[in-house]
Amino acid sequence: MEKEKIKPDFKIVHINETNDWDLTGELECVEKITGCYIADFSRNTYCCELTPSLYLIWMAYDEEFKEGVEEQAKEVVDGIIADQIGEDGYYHRSYIENSDKIIVKDVDWDNTDWMEEFDYSTEEGYYELIEEARELISYDGCY
């Protein structure tokens, strides 16, 4: 019997991760750091419990600066943050959907016909699809 193909429902998830950073030294001028993730809301995972979880795949960090910060300082911070790589991980779906630290945005695809090129009913095909989605969502498209 063939597995049912459920079309992925990718969304961009922004998590306020400011408290996870040491904002001293060169980072003192930063007001907020947000992690940008992609998640498939059509696919729940149950990590040894009854509560559904979503697997978030890290894409980028975005920073907001305090008022009056000079461009040179912003460039230094951009370089520091760009060198950091976030982690993929499982998050309880209820936390993602109800936390005031998190913003979920729909991906504004012109169309989703490109998804049909992938056999996302298989594990390998699904991860190929995710990589394609990551490439199609530009860094600027995260925010």
In-domain check, residue 71: yes
- 134 occurs within a structural domain: no
Is 138 within a domain?
no
Q: Does residue 137 lie within any of the structural domains?
A: no
Please report which confidence band the pLDDT of residue 143 belongs to, taking 50, 70 and 90 as the band edges: very low
Q: How many residues does the chain have?
A: 143
Range of the domain at 84: 10-107
- Mean pLDDT is highest, among 2-11, 27-36, 39-48, 117-126, for 27-36
Q: Is 45 exposed, middle or buried, given 0-12, 13-18 or 19+ CB atoms closer than 10 A?
A: exposed
Q: From CA 73, how far away is CA 30, in angstroms rounded?
A: 10
Tell whether 133 is covered by a domain.
no
> Between the CA of residue 79 and those of 61, 65, 73, 76, 83, what are the distances in Å?
11, 14, 10, 5, 6
Asked whether residue 64 is assigned to any structural domain, the reply reads yes
Report how many domains make up the chain: 1
* pTM for this prediction: 0.79
Look at residue 121 and tell me if it is in a domain. no
In a domain, residue 119? The reply is no
